[in-house]
Amino acid sequence: MVLLYADEFTYDRRPSLSRAVAPTRADAPRADHGWGTNKKRRIAACLDAMTGRVVARQRVRFDRKGLARFYAAVAAGYPEAEAIFVAHDNWPVHFHPDVLAALPPHLTVLPLPTSAPWTNPVEDLWRRLNGDVLPHHAFGDDWVGLQPAVTAWLAQWHDPSPDLLHWVGLCPDQ
């Protein structure tokens, strides 16, 4: 049996100014917002509660069909699992009848409490992504460069990671 925590996250082409606030002066950090319009990208990810492995996909959006394809990819990543449980927040798309009907037979979606993001360790993964890559990034005009940077950051967690489990609070005795 496998227990996964899952969530979606949106990031922007324009860098965030959070965690980069400084008094006005010449040597203060600057965020290059570029000249183009802002663009957004969605990430769906599952964190394995036992190993710290992350399965993630990026898309422009995750609608019912996209989410069903993501669940199929997650199930394919665990070919030997007899049962896969995916704990999600209560976004209505997670429990839409079309999505539930498309689930692999051994995958079950479980609801987490409403308005309780602290119950989902993937929120800490997003916090770490925000700390390592996204705020004040140098890709203001390089949307094509930012996406692979985020993909590479996520790829570091593709293999089991006790360090990530510790960081998100699932293995505190390290």
Q: How far is CA 51 from CA 55, 139, 161, in A?
A: 12, 32, 6
pLDDT computed for residue 170 by the predictor = 86
- The answer as to whether 48 is a domain residue is yes
- What are the two backbone dihedrals, phi and then psi, of residue 102, each rounded to the nearest 5 degrees? -90, -5
Distance CA(78)–CA(140), nearest Å, equals 37
- The answer as to whether 24 is a domain residue is no
The total number of structural domains in the chain stands at 1
- The answer as to whether 58 is a domain residue is yes
- The answer as to whether 140 is a domain residue is yes
- The answer as to whether 173 is a domain residue is no
For residue 174, pLDDT over 60 is answered with no
- The answer as to whether 34 is a domain residue is no
- CATH at residue 7: 3.30.420.10
Distance CA(164)–CA(76), nearest Å, equals 22
- The answer as to whether 21 is a domain residue is no
For residue 172, pLDDT over 70 is answered with no
- The answer as to whether 19 is a domain residue is no
Show the domain range for 84: 2-12+39-166
**Mean pLDDT score, 133-141:** 74
Distance CA(21)–CA(18), nearest Å, equals 7
Nearest alpha carbon to residue 89 among 68, 118, 51, 63: 118
- Express each pLDDT in 60-92 by its tens digit: 988 999 999 999 999 999 999 999 999 999 888
Distance CA(168)–CA(174), nearest Å, equals 12
pTM of the model: 0.84
Q: What is the mean pLDDT of the chain?
A: 86
